[in-house]
Structure 1
């Protein structure tokens, strides 16, 4: 996907970003903030990564950069798998849709992040979604480095993704409540069943 993104400065660079208290919900305010140039650069990279091996490689590299020293091993691989699943819900990758289809899809993706995209051009909507997803990837990777000791890899990844989702992606319901659950049962004995875990003796 060829895009002229260097020097990109759309209207939404004045949107209020999420803070530590929780995700921004409803229509974004027009409170001036410092534009996150790092997430903008990552957004451009994600938009240029094709769905499939290229996206997976990009996600692995981003997790490796931001989750060190927890960036290698099974937990990191589990987190990348979760983020690939989230990408199918929240990262605009399909370019063949009509404008009307894209508008409907982007509105649903906006709900994933708890934001409204109304009033933005389709191109700006796409870039804002990618920017939000870049922030989510970065935060999930950082949380992985803080995961409670003793968690199995799948549980640690879900804990990290859940913590990031609580702040940045309230619509990511698959992991949103995983952080507290994993912490409260981390001392128990775990058995993995597919993508989930079962606590035998919490």
Structure 2
């Protein structure tokens, strides 16, 4: 089976390739000649995932899946959620996003948060969705150099290290994207 993973993020591509069975050939957007920014203008994580997968299926004709991940912070009424990548502006800079989030939480004792990934799969004319959630908290300071995005300030429940301090294998085992990808893989294995 051949599937396009609708992302331009090499970190996500690497993470997902390590989780997908070898029976599935994973193609990147570059592999199919898609060099434009795939639209991501919805207000929700689920909406962004569906929009990206639908765009690739309609424009390029490939069966594909797209994910969107957001950080939902209790003290910020669930924000930044669907705007996580653009939290500090359209430049989509992780460092700027982290600084804005820490600034917005500096007077809050409630550090509870969760990472949520939604995967939208466009396959043989049908659409399927898979959701992974990892609960945890936002740290007061950055720590670690692995991962990307908000990983240096997110600590999963029951862990003393941030996502950026965990190995890729550890993060995939407990993380939101790993959970959603595992649901996707189980579904694909039933076909």
TM-score (ref. length: structure 2)? 0.26
Q: Which has the higher helix share?
A: 1
Say which one has the larger Rg.
1
Determine which structure has the larger strand proportion and give its number: 2
